[in-house]
Structure 1
Amino acid sequence: MASTTAYHTPPVATEEPGAPAPEQMLDAVVIGAGFGGIAAAIKLREAGFRDVVVLEKGPDVGGCWRENTYPGCACDVPSHLYSYSFAPNPDWTRQYAPQAEIEQYVRDTVDAYGVRRDIRFGVEASGAAWDDTVQGWRLETSDGPLLARAVISAAGPLHQPLIPDIPGLADFPGTVFHSAEWNHDHDLTGERVAVIGSGASAIQFVPEIAPKVGRLELFQRTAPWLLPRIDFEIPRWARWAHRRVPGLRRAHRLAIFSIAETLGFAQRHPRFIAPLRAAATKHLHSQVKDPELRARLTPDYEPGCKRILFANTWYPALQRDNVDVISSGVAEVRGNTVVASDGTEREVDTIILATGFHVTDPPVATAVRGPDGRTMAETWGGSPQAYLGTTVAGFPNLFLLVGPNSALGHSSIIFVIEQQVHYAVEAMKHMRFHALGRIEVDRAVQERYLARVDERLKDAVWATGGCGSYYLDATGRTSTIWPWSLPRMQRMLHRFDAEHYRVERKVPAPVSS
């Protein structure tokens, strides 16, 4: 364990006669009002922090569940696990909740816990810079500057759509949109549509739009591994039981969690991946009888190397007479023609980008500047790094939710969010109790931690499975995924380990003359 290293305490600021009143120092600014930001707002208020502001650029809460409204959008984690442990919902209508129901759940939780008053809607944070003289973050927002002791970034990894740099795409004369920015005003009926990408979004919306379009051309660089989606409507008696039977919701949630953990174990220990491969292969062979198409839909990497998807309607949709699978990425767009890397050409009216998000290069990294004036992106140099996925050396009083090496490929990200929010709130409580103005994880501690992370992940399927994915950053490092079990995460983030941080006592506020 590292010993605590104290910073030099700067001199106490004084106020000149006639000077303006000191700026208000907020306890925290939370960026984003999705699942992460709402959890942070609730837990900060429960811990007694009253001066908290949540900045949300959109018109309402919900985050990615407010923004992603493409046809068929739904969760790929069972509903009773994809919810806050402190706000269980007995009334989920399906095993896998649809987008609108999840968005409504977030709204209901916000209202139940009374934190809507802390949220400033339509306000976007454009930058944050640490100010040593006041031991706080100066934020620039679309509604003016703010000053906060701490910042909790809850923008999320599935936040900014990734628009591929395809030559000629900008000059396409038809309609182009990303799946995360679905154009509901555009009628696809009878159109020739190109879908670029075959990931989590595409497998949900392609089966929905395939029956109505004239032609659908799917440009697929790599085929996904699919497992059956055991979805069903939750009957009324089951909802009644979840509401009235003591312990049922907790037991149900634990059962789902435990099953998901077996998938995570196999991904961390690829020698146990064979049953997943067998199940996914059986699913493919049972639904696709044409050997030529089946070959195009068979991945050439290990299951789990990319995100494992769950679907029953994907393979049937790809076998429709008006659908064609092109096993190639897109090289360019020439007028109305989409040209694949293998030379295949298709003339289309609309292009839908199912190309994912900026995961390993999150926008927040370019907007935050530490005491040395460098942005987080400059500090990372293409490979995101954080201690416990939550704090970053060189960036005091800053907490990331779903930061580097804390994302999952097998379970509910809300579990991760709750652990990180707990850790951040415990850190802020420690600062309040000990009158600290600044805490920052020791760089040597972070480096030793990351060495353990890299050692654990070097043999995991994400690094050895033979694929490229958003789990890997620009340097080839696995900087996205949590390397151990989720119970271990809960243990590691349960207590704020102050001994691993450098601290500085709070500068007294100026005294009016």
Structure 2
Amino acid sequence: MSIPRLSELSARLGADLDGVRERYRAERERRVRTDTSTRYRRAEGEWGYYAADPYVESGFTREPLTDRVDAVVVGGGFGGLLAGARLRQAGLERIRIVEKAGDFGGTWYWNRYPGIHCDIESYVYLPLLEEVGYMPRWKYAPGEEIRQHAMAIGRTFDLYTDALFQTGVRELRWDDGEWIVRTDRDDEVRATYVVVSNGTLDHAKLPRIPGIEDFAGHTFHTSRWDYGYTGGDPGGGLAGLADKRVAVIGTGATGIQVVPAVARDAEHLYVFQRTPSTVDVRDNRPTDPEWAASLGPGWHTRRRENFQAVVTGHATDEDLVADAWTASGQVLGKIISTDAHDDVDPDEWEQIEEFLDLEKMAEIRARVDRVVDDPATAELLKPWYRYACKRPTFSDEYLQAFNRPNVTLVDTADHGGVERMTERAIVVGGAEYPVDCVIFATGFEVGMSDVMTGRLPVYGRDGTNLLQSWAVAGPRTLHGFTSNGFPNLFHLGSLQNAPSVNFTHVLDEQAIHVAEMIAEARRRGVKSIEPTVEAETSWAETIGRTSPDREWFDAECTPGYYNNEGRPRGPRQTYGPGPGPFQRLLREWRSGDGIEEVLRGG
């Protein structure tokens, strides 16, 4: 992928830059609020009914377990499944996955709303395709297909046998050479190894709207879709909404998929928008059977590595995925760390990237004008911010939904969001919108696992609390996985490593790394995997030295979860060269002398 010359971009787009920057600043200021810390509430406590599991029978009970296994994996989403699968391949026999839901799937267990699909191509998003022997039916798979694939992984690698569902882990404690895992069902499981992968997309969040408790109509969160009320299924057919006035609050990645489905069946739909998303072309289509039959062994690894290279701006001989993600690879650098432009002067690259961003966002806004009939509505749907400020979205139906006579867009930017709710209506700017049903498409808490928030306390050697040990100098890990004083404990996620937009690929590389460390320790008869203090310190220095400076960018973005609602938390603790170099670093570390840093005791 060639990089345009700065002089060419400046000549073509420079005249627009100052005006667009000013518009971005003005649009950001319209949406910034001082009460960002209280904008949302977790669906728990008095709001716990929004988080209840609608897919299992209530009142489930069982006798507490007391036993010993080779490994406990906390979380049954794709991270936990990948950990379980790779540990099984490494030779571990008893692997107990503990999951609070009723089955495997993680986010895809909870999210079953109409219209749900993955927005990353299914041939690179769904993990272990060759191992399971499955080919997705669509380029962008629907949610139910993804959930069924998660369950198929569980069956293929015999992960159901020792799984504990409808169970939450409430404490991890190191004791005499093994971990004691205590759960909310009074289980006490001892394990040689523990892998924590309880994710960051499992705690539904609700907006703090005054009067929400006074609303007499029906409400639910998209992650707990109420088909008993709406009728239909994830494919649509929501006949129960035919005589209902419905509100959807939220226009992020979930709202983009929900709105077209509800618009088709509701008597009237009000879409409440604070900030419009970028909505690019999806162009979904069925899998070509001839293409699928032509693929040879190893195709899945090659394809996802190609996707990763293209979206991080690296030159490749071919773009195998060829979608809107890869077409935007040069403007994703503020989302995904990359070393693709290290040969360009940093100041010059910042200017090039801003011009490319300007071009991309102009293309996105022009699409709104082409698709949406009403000029006033089109203006409200145009995103005015840098491309990487919010999660990009893709749809061939969302913008079109606003051409329907039964759909009304309500922009809340000038009113600080939804003002309040009454018994029968939603109020914005003093205007009342009577509705029978409110659907909260407000997503999940993002970026903070239960370990990092303290909801799952971890006590290592000598009873040391993990978070307290990090309180002064910040997180201390080797490669984001292991910490001194906490033997045989492994974290999957984005801490001190290199995330990407295709997170299942990242999780698989992490699971492979953990499994190979454990396999090597077992081959050598080593009981403990734990980094030295020196190795931790060196990695912290590497992260500090390479982690990109993006605080200024986040501070200029429109409020959203990427920048903590307009108040960036501080430097991102990521490996600056990006996911590809990080994965190569791990492979070289495992095959060389690096692994000696973590093998302790025969």
TM-score, scaled relative to structure 2? 0.71
Paired residues for 1:261-300 under 5 Å: 261-262=312-313, 263-268=328-333, 270-271=353-354, 272-300=356-384
Q: CA deviation at 1:459?
A: 6.9
Kept after mapping to 1: 8 A contact 2:249/2:273 = yes
SS at match of 1:211: helix
| Alignment partner of 1:397 is 2:481 | no
Q: Which residue of the partner structure matches residue 330 of structure 1?
A: 418
SS at match of 1:121: coil
Specify which of 348, 364, 375 is matched with residue 435 of structure 2.
348
Letter aligned with residue 188 of structure 2: P
Letter aligned with residue 297 of structure 1: L
Letter aligned with residue 120 of structure 1: L
CA distance 1:122–1:138, shift in 2 (3 Å)? closer
CA distance 1:153–1:377, shift in 2 (3 Å)? farther
Specify which of 245, 260, 263 is matched with residue 192 of structure 1.
245
Kept after mapping to 2: 8 A contact 1:264/1:485 = no
Q: Which residue of the partner structure matches residue 311 of structure 2?
A: 260
Q: Which residue of the partner structure matches residue 309 of structure 1?
A: 393
386-395 vs 185-194, which deviates more? 386-395
Letter aligned with residue 580 of structure 2: P
Q: Which residue of the partner structure matches residue 458 of structure 2?
A: 369
Q: Which residue of the partner structure matches residue 221 of structure 1?
A: 274
Report the structure, 1 or 2, having the larger helix content: 2
| Alignment partner of 1:357 is 2:444 | yes
Uncovered stretches (5+) of structure 1, i.e. residues with no partner: 1-22, 507-513
Letter aligned with residue 368 of structure 1: P
Kept after mapping to 2: 8 A contact 1:472/1:479 = no
| Alignment partner of 1:72 is 2:115 | yes
| Alignment partner of 1:458 is 2:550 | yes
Q: CA deviation at 1:399?
A: 1.9
Kept after mapping to 1: 8 A contact 2:251/2:441 = yes
Specify which of 583, 586, 594 is matched with residue 493 of structure 1.
586
Letter aligned with residue 207 of structure 1: P
SS at match of 1:72: coil
Kept after mapping to 2: 8 A contact 1:56/1:124 = yes
**Matched residues in 2 for 1:109 and 1:125: separation?**
22
Q: Which residue of the partner structure matches residue 414 of structure 1?
A: 504
191-200 vs 355-364, which deviates more? 355-364
Specify which of 252, 261, 277 is matched with residue 208 of structure 1.
261
Q: CA deviation at 1:111?
A: 2.1
**Matched residues in 2 for 1:407 and 1:169: separation?**
39
Q: CA deviation at 1:303?
A: 0.6
Q: Which residue of the partner structure matches residue 109 of structure 1?
A: 153
Q: Cα deviations across residues 93-123 of structure 1 (Å, max 9, x unaligned)?
A: 1110111111222222332233332322333
SS at match of 2:207: coil
Specify which of 130, 136, 142 is matched with residue 98 of structure 1.
142
Kept after mapping to 1: 8 A contact 2:72/2:195 = yes
**Matched residues in 1 for 2:546 and 2:504: separation?**
21
Q: CA deviation at 1:27?
A: 2.8
CA distance 1:256–1:504, shift in 2 (3 Å)? closer
Q: CA deviation at 1:273?
A: 2.5
Kept after mapping to 1: 8 A contact 2:498/2:578 = no
SS at match of 2:125: coil
Q: CA deviation at 1:477?
A: 2.5
Kept after mapping to 1: 8 A contact 2:105/2:147 = yes
Percent identical pairs in the alignment equals: 27
68-77 vs 353-362, which deviates more? 353-362
Kept after mapping to 2: 8 A contact 1:225/1:303 = yes
Q: What is the aligned-residue RMSD (CA, Å)?
A: 3.1
SS at match of 1:119: coil
Q: CA deviation at 1:408?
A: 4.8
Q: CA deviation at 1:157?
A: 1.5
Q: Which residue of the partner structure matches residue 130 of structure 1?
A: 174
Q: CA deviation at 1:499?
A: 6.0
SS at match of 2:216: coil
**Matched residues in 1 for 2:560 and 2:286: separation?**
33
Bigger relative contact order (CA 8 A; separation at least 6): 1
Corresponding pairs, count: 476
Q: CA deviation at 1:387?
A: 4.9
Q: CA deviation at 1:319?
A: 2.9
Specify which of 93, 103, 110 is matched with residue 50 of structure 1.
93
CA distance 1:459–1:57, shift in 2 (3 Å)? closer
**Matched residues in 2 for 1:498 and 1:246: separation?**
30
Q: CA deviation at 1:92?
A: 1.6
Q: Cα deviations across residues 250-298 of structure 1 (Å, max 9, x unaligned)?
A: 6555554444333455222643424432432232222124332222112
Q: Cα deviations across residues 472-496 of structure 1 (Å, max 9, x unaligned)?
A: 3575225487744321121133235
Kept after mapping to 2: 8 A contact 1:220/1:327 = yes
SS at match of 1:233: coil
Q: Cα deviations across residues 61-111 of structure 1 (Å, max 9, x unaligned)?
A: 222112211000111011110122553755321110111111222222332
Uncovered stretches (5+) of structure 2, i.e. residues with no partner: 1-65, 231-240, 314-327, 334-349
**Matched residues in 2 for 1:398 and 1:126: separation?**
16
Specify which of 384, 388, 412 is matched with residue 479 of structure 2.
388
Kept after mapping to 1: 8 A contact 2:252/2:277 = yes
Q: Cα deviations across residues 431-463 of structure 1 (Å, max 9, x unaligned)?
A: 443624351463533532441354x142785x2
304-313 vs 267-276, which deviates more? 267-276
Kept after mapping to 1: 8 A contact 2:498/2:582 = no
Specify which of 188, 193, 198 is matched with residue 150 of structure 1.
193
Letter aligned with residue 179 of structure 2: G
CA distance 1:399–1:97, shift in 2 (3 Å)? same
Letter aligned with residue 493 of structure 2: V
SS at match of 2:439: strand
Q: CA deviation at 1:154?
A: 1.7
Q: Which residue of the partner structure matches residue 428 of structure 1?
A: 518
Kept after mapping to 2: 8 A contact 1:197/1:220 = yes
**Matched residues in 2 for 1:183 and 1:143: separation?**
31
SS at match of 2:510: helix
CA distance 1:490–1:346, shift in 2 (3 Å)? same
Kept after mapping to 2: 8 A contact 1:389/1:405 = yes
**Matched residues in 1 for 2:483 and 2:404: separation?**
49
SS at match of 1:419: helix
